[in-house]
Amino acid sequence: MKSLKNHLSVIFPLFVLLFSIQFSFLTNKIVEDYSRKLTRDYSIVIVASKTIDKAVLKSRVKGIKSIQEISSKKILDRLKDNISSKNISLLKIALPKFYSLKLESFPDISRIEKIKDRLLKSGLVSKVETFSKTHTKIYRMFMLLKSISFLFAAFILIVSVLLMFKQMRIWLLEHKERMAVMTLFGAPFWMKSAMLYRLAIVDSFISTIFVSILYSVLPFMKEVNTFSKSMNITIPTFDILKDGGTLLGISLVFSLFIVSIVISKMNRE
Amino acid sequence: MEHVINAENMTLAYGKDEPIITEASMKINPNEFVFITGKSGSGKSTILKSMYGELSPQKGVLDVCGVGIKNISTSKLNLLRRYLGIVFQDYRLINEWTVEKNVMLPLMIGGFSKGVCAKQAHKLLKHVKLLHKADKYPLELSGGEQQRVAMARALAHNPVMILADEPTGNLDEYSSEVIWDLLKNAKEHLGTTVVVVTHHIPSTLGIDYKHYFLESGVVYEVS
């Protein structure tokens, strides 16, 4: 019972630590996926007096994925009833060319400004509409989400590491007598501390398994599905090899590092 | 190796405190049985501590099995301790381990295979008449039995020297006799040097021994 309690005291902070780290990864993936979707929908409208050579514009302004001309036919059709056909023909000649510009990736605020600036300086464009207000709102929301998840992970990390330090000191005190007896018979350092390292490794595996199960099940939960559909986001599935491996690596690094620090501190004392 | 222990003008102190042993000189030969006696607090256990490297001499020389204890490195000390068997009044067994595993400890440290360790542990447990309790845990045994396990552990790796700190201090008459017999046997049949710190030398030991007496931090050899 005592041993189980000891294990849980390390498994729990490790579990929380891995949970928050994976949550942070997951948020990043969702944000990336969502920004890809937004990139598909987001476009900049440019106005030019003459027909634009798309290749030239692409070479002058980097990051443009595609340039599509917006037909002026719809505007002119609406005006047909009020204006004479002669004036319509004149308007057709005088009307500037409109283009919809798609970007390769979802830009941040400064990049939008740069693109706008380059477009205007290209000599081919007379006006640029970036719809930056709407864009900025969404972009800032994403950044906030990313920052919150990062801060959350960092905070949890600190608390978990402190909890693990505390528990491993307790482990060490429990094993101190055994280590002292082993020292009397000339046991090397690795042999005396093997027990603690073994405990740390076992607990790392257990906590990784728990977190992996949780995140594997998560995308298939009814509530999560409903939420993701309503938000138009996709919850990425948990890759046992890639994600599980990363989590195991992180938990091993943390737990073994903490055991080493605690043992070396005791040796110095 | 001429002497198992060679101490010359050795002064022992804990940190910067007043010395507990001053200018002590001792020479212990291989296969000798040695008693170190003295009143409580006279420094008997301190001398023993220095012999297994727990305490380094402040002044003078102390060589154990030909190895200088002063400023000895951890790795050298670990190596030296693999040639020693240590017995304490409070047994110092690992309570979470079975009796068998406790006896196996010095052999495990020595890097022997599990099979060899188990075989030797069984032999030793048979020797101390506790083979039937090999799977028990120390706290399931009586004090006398625990000390016999400690003796088996001390003998498991055929040490050059056994250092015993009041080995019968907590035991009844019968158990004490068993421990003295085991120590005597180690000297007579295994050629082990035995150094015992005690209040009282048993009158029925029946072997030759060397006797050092401690008083006011000074070591006297009793002839």
The tens digit of pLDDT for each residue in A159-190 reads 888 888 888 888 888 888 888 899 999 998 88
Q: Which residues of A touch B86 (CB under 8 A)?
A: 184-185
Per-residue pLDDT band at A1 (split at 50, 70, 90): low
The nearest CA of chain B is from the CA of A200 a distance in Å of 19
Pull the structure tokens for residue A42: 């987001």
Pull the structure tokens for residue B92: 């110092």
> A interface mutation test: which of B96, B97, B157, B162 has the most A CBs within 10 A?
B96
Average confidence score pLDDT of chain B: 92
The answer to whether A153 touches A17, Cβ cutoff 8 Å, is no
Q: Flag whether pLDDT at A94 surpasses 90.
A: no
Q: Is the model more confident about A119 or about A210?
A: A210
Nearest CA in chain A to B52: A184
Whether residues A181 and B94 touch (CB distance < 8 A) is answered with yes
The nearest CA of chain A is from the CA of B62 a distance in Å of 18
Span A61-88, mean pLDDT? 79
Pull the structure tokens for residue A237: 């599935």
ipTM above threshold 0.85: yes
pTM: 0.70
Whether residues A186 and B86 touch (CB distance < 8 A) is answered with no
Report long-range pairs for A104-107 (Cβ below 8 Å, ≥24 apart). A104/A39, A104/A63, A104/A64, A104/A65, A105/A35, A105/A39, A105/A63, A106/A35, A106/A36, A106/A38, A106/A39, A106/A42, A106/A139, A107/A63, A107/A135
Nearest CA in chain B to A176: B94
Q: Which residues of A touch B80 (CB under 8 A)?
A: 186
Nearest CA in chain B to A188: B78
Q: What is the pLDDT, as a whole number, of residue B64?
A: 94
> B interface mutation test: which of A175, A185, A191, A263 has the most B CBs within 10 A?
A185
| Cβ count within 10 A of residue A128 | 17
Q: Is the model more confident about B64 or about A127?
A: B64
Calpha distance A260→A61 (Å, rounded): 53
> A interface mutation test: which of B67, B78, B98, B103 has the most A CBs within 10 A?
B78
Q: What is the pLDDT, as a whole number, of residue B31?
A: 92
The 10s digit of each residue's pLDDT in B106-146 is 999 999 999 999 999 999 999 898 999 999 999 999 999 99
Q: Flag whether pLDDT at B14 surpasses 80.
A: yes
The answer to whether B61 touches B10, Cβ cutoff 8 Å, is yes
